[in-house]
Amino acid sequence: MQNYIVFTDLDGTLLNHADYSYDEAKPMLHWLKQEGIPVVFTTSKTAQECRMLQHEMGLKDPYIVENGAAICQGEQVIEMLGVPYSTIKDFIDRYKERFGIVPFSDMSVEEVMARTGFGYVQAKIAKEREYSEPFLMHDEGMLDALKACAAQEGFKILKGGRFYHCVGSGQDKGEAVRRLMKRYPERVSIGLGDNYNDIAMLDVVDIAVLIPHYAGQYIEYAREGLIKASHQGSQGWRESLEKVFDVTC
């Protein structure tokens, strides 16, 4: 069973949206480790957040951070696709008043805690970006104008479960997955995600699994052979992989 590799979003997919629990997924994570199947976080989270979760879950596989900005292994960056955070912050700072942007960098740790449900340490780490800037907007009716402005300056805007994310135009989860797959050429790729910033990943994997997002609905997405999980978060994650592998964990 070692000819598979799993690429997974975290928030709202492997981790429950409300409490970040992955209890329902633990039996499947254990099974995947026993079978030697890599579990590659493919997430908007930072490298430090990913390493903490990997340590907690007992994983040592590569991981993809900040919406495809970099492919990492342990504390090393294997390949960088994104642009430096300072460049992105400069763009956001120049346009935040015009577009009513509230970036992570302007939020206190306590504000991030309130908006995410993180504890203090987790919120502090989440603010330490390297390749992207999460943000909120006062008026989402201005989103298309912001996207157009970002595209002109070499950036793009992605939508995650709680925040929008400003990233470099040359990165997305799909491109990072394609590059990492060159290191696993004989493996069948499985991708699991719940939101719009996961589409690029779901487009390029062999087997795509769509998890219903926190409101209980699916995003608008279709592709041949798409598997739609019946439940949200870690329960849907486990049950979908049980279906793929024809096992019960």
CA torsion 237-241-244-248 (nearest 10°) is -130
**Has 9 been annotated as catalytic?**
yes
Query: How does strand 133-137 pair with strand 155-159?
Result: unpaired
Which ranges of 58-193 does DSSP label H, i.e. alpha helix? 85-99, 109-116, 120-126, 143-152, 173-181
State phi, psi for 159 to the nearest 5 degrees: -110, 125
Cα-atom radius of gyration of the chain, to the nearest Å?
Answer: 17
Tokens, residue 65: 């951070």
The one-character DSSP state at 23 is G
CB 171 within 8 A of CB 68: yes
Tokens, residue 120: 């203090």
Q: Which of 9, 11, 194, 198 is catalytic?
A: 9
* Neighbour count for residue 11 (Cβ, 10 Å): 22
CA 93 to chain centre: 24
CB 154 within 8 A of CB 168: yes
C-alpha–C-alpha distance, residues 163 and 245, integer Å:
33
Catalytically active residues are: 9
